[in-house]
Amino acid sequence: MVLISSTIAIPIFEELLFRGYVWNELKQNYKSDLTFYVVNTVLFAIWHNPWFSTL
């Protein structure tokens, strides 16, 4: 079950979250493509930072 969730469910959730919801919301709020791309990248990096997982 852990193998299935870590290889299938979690990546699908992340794609839906960051490529779907966050991407579309940032695209609407920022006029510059570079700005919203950088903000999305920073949020994705924070999401994957192990320090934030321990909070």
Choose between 32 and 1: higher pLDDT.
32
Instruction: Tell if the pTM clears 0.75, that is, is over it.
Output: no
Cβ atoms 37, 20 nearer than 8 A = no
Average pLDDT over residues 24-49: 84
Share of the chain above pLDDT 90, in %: 0
Average pLDDT over residues 31-41: 86
Question: What 8-state DSSP symbol labels residue 37?
Answer: H
Cβ count near 29 (within 10 Å): 10
**Residue-range domain boundaries for the chain:** 15-48
